[in-house]
A and B are shown apart, each in its own frame.
Chain A
Amino acid sequence: MTKYIIRRLIQTIPVLIGVTILVFSLMHLVPGDPAQIVAGEGASEQTVENIRERLGLNESIPVQYGRFLGNAVQGDLGSSVRSGRPVMDEIGSRFWVTVELAFYSTIVAVFLGLIAGIVSAVRHYTLADTSIMIVALFGLSMPNFWFGLLLIQWFAIGNWMPESLEFLKMRPSGWGDSWRQIILPVLTLGTGGAAIIARMTRSSMLEVIGQDYIRTARAKGVSERIVTYRHALKNALIPVVTVVGLEFGGFLGGAVLTETIFAINGMGRLTIDAIRTRDFPVVQGTVLVISVIFVLVNLLVDISYRLLNKRIDLN
């Protein structure tokens, strides 16, 4: 197992090199002169020249890439063009905000999704199943930003709330220690994920419940509850784990809209702001960090396959 993890970590190196090439090319793939774009229209020639100097754009492209990679390996992703602060510092605290948001959202998604999916599968073709699947379809189709706005309308503004329910009132913005700030954005992100996990769990469970070994378990005199949770679920989890991994990655990189609606100062907003202000080093930095996390999450997913089913040969 340890051997496998080490080998997989080594295997991620080419992937990460590929990512750095893509990230690095960002700046050069944008039509026009990057220095001019960064400086903005109407900037003096001197300013443009200074920026070109600062970003090292005078060098040949391979040399620039080599320097970018060399610095990145040492944890130096350059400095923000706008604020002048090192990109790592810019990412710093915001990174943890986004990780927290993604983590809690994943927990909500897994919790709601698994329960809904299992209930749906165990009672398939009943009213419960149909209702859950309709709700899941809504969850799947409703854009995050819309659901987020609805949640703000209902629970943060909450004009409908009688005084006795005022304690339920949430704060509509920011991210911090208070659960009142955390619940709405986590629900916004998590419910969409829950819908996907519910559908995946349902179909996976239905397939497993039809297997011969489930009949064997019943023939042993095992109760339906144990059949579901011990015999079926563990087998059904493998495709679900894949989805959970992908969703966590998606939450990290794709929380932009949720962060914007709830005015959360996370990576998503940092990225969007950087794109809007043509702050290339920051864009490169955020994309790179998210990619690394994504690769690591996928490694964790692969390892958990093996933990679930010893038959899956990691070699």
Chain B
Amino acid sequence: MSIQGTEDIILEVKNLQTIFKTDTGDVRAVDGVSFKLPKGKTIGIVGESGSGKSITSLSILQLLASNGKITNGEVLYKGDDLLKLTENQMRKLRGNEISMIFQEPMTSLNPVYTVGQQISEALMLHQNMSKKDAFIRSVELLQLVGIPSPDKRVKNYPFELSGGMRQRVMIAMSLACDPEILVADEPTTALDVTIQAQILELIKELQDRLGMSVIFITHDLGVVAETCDYVAVMYAGQVVEYSDIRTLFHQPKLPYTIGLLKSLPRHDIEQDKLEPIKGNVPSPHEMPVGCRFSPRCPAATDLCRTKMPQLETDENGNQVRCWIYTDEWTGEAEVDIYGETRIAKSGGAKTVLPD
């Protein structure tokens, strides 16, 4: 299940760095993010608010706000570096080969055009369809995403639809041109739980049917567990742990990941109380010199506080950015945090998630 060299990688992000110019100086929102997306699979990018996960996805499509700038890195799509493409070349990919759905279905559709017009636009643009053909295809797409009486709904304005319906319309729109990659930026966050489940199921079903690869951005580990094959955990603009889904839930390595999992309410085991991770994500203006999680990490040593660990890859292709798993670690061989025992170097926590 781990990421071996044999898998067909459709998108690889290497050392991506994105900054935002602000009045108080440059803010490094994404600082050296790397991950691989195998074809037909789903990778989850998980992190707290401000960890840089949305900015990572917007950087891939180069849809940053005007004060945002990608300063370094590569985004390899089928071998080509997207960051080297011209705006025109990039535009041909957007909505066509790589498309995106957003967090806010309520505000992500244009209020002055019908949903049919908005879906048709991408079809007419990328597939050179006539207005009439695009309209017919729009109805089919609405049907595909499970909207009842699509021939009527296609003429509706966004305000005439509920939040869940609008997100379905967004999905229909993003699937219009059969994209290779779907970037879903917290597509269920703004929806209530029952609708959430429906939308997740829909994305999964469409992925199976159409064979696309998905980048799923979320702060919700429950959603990750349901949808993803691989997970990149982000903290303060960096990828801090990257592994296949089973390893992440059964043998998380990083104290931060363990903390996240321990703060997740569970119905399958008895929990006296949830363990929160103490403290807050550091402000982008006052990043710690060493490991960015060190001020909050219960296992942090002086080494952690003074020197930034690198993202190290193990024999299974999983990655972790933590001194504990390196030869330089001088702390204890076994560390107890959040009630779990982690064994340095030999693996992560063992009992976070029972089988």
> Which A residues form the contact surface with B (CB < 8 A)?
211-213, 215-223, 231, 234-235, 308-311
Contact = CB atoms under 8 A, between A and B. Distances in A.
A68 B25 CA distance: 70
B59 to A, nearest CB: 13
Contact of B110 (A219, A221, A223, A231): A231
Contacts of B296: none
Given A213-B107, A215-B102, A218-B94, 12 more contacts: A213-B108, A213-B109, A213-B111, A220-B95, A220-B99, A220-B121, A221-B91, A221-B122, A222-B95, A231-B110, A235-B111, A309-B112
A219 B112 contact: no
Nearest to A124: B66
Contact of A220 (B107, B112, B159, B173): B173
Given A221-B125, A222-B125, A311 B157 contact: yes
Main secondary structure of the interface of B (DSSP, over half): mixed
Interface size class of B (residues with CB under 8 A): 20 to 34
A212 B107 contact: yes
B130 to A, nearest CB: 18
B109 A220 contact: no
A311 B107 CA distance: 14
Given A211-B107, A215-B63, A221 B93 contact: yes
6 contacts: A213-B110, A215-B108, A220-B173, A222-B121, A231-B110, A311-B111
B251 to A, nearest CB: 36
Nearest to A223: B91
Most buried by B among A211, A216, A217, A231: A216
B60 to A, nearest CB: 11
B141 to A, nearest CB: 13
Closest 8 CB pairs between A and B? A220-B95, A221-B94, A221-B95, A212-B107, A213-B110, A219-B100, A212-B108, A311-B159
Contacts of A309: 111-112
Nearest to A219: B100
Contact of A216 (B91, B93, B109, B125): B109
Interface in B102-119: 102, 104, 107-112
Contacts of A215: 63, 102, 108
Nearest to A217: B110
Nearest to B173: A220
A81 to B, nearest CB: 53
B322 interface: no
Contacts of A219: 61, 63, 94-95, 99-100, 102, 174
A212 B61 contact: no
B92 interface: yes
A174 to B, nearest CB: 44
Interface in B204-252: none
A206 B122 CA distance: 24
Interface in B11-51: none
A308 B110 CA distance: 12
A309 B111 CA distance: 7
A213 B157 CA distance: 13
B94 A235 contact: no
B20 to A, nearest CB: 15
A231 B102 CA distance: 17
Nearest to A232: B110
B126 interface: yes
A221 B126 contact: yes
Nearest to A224: B87
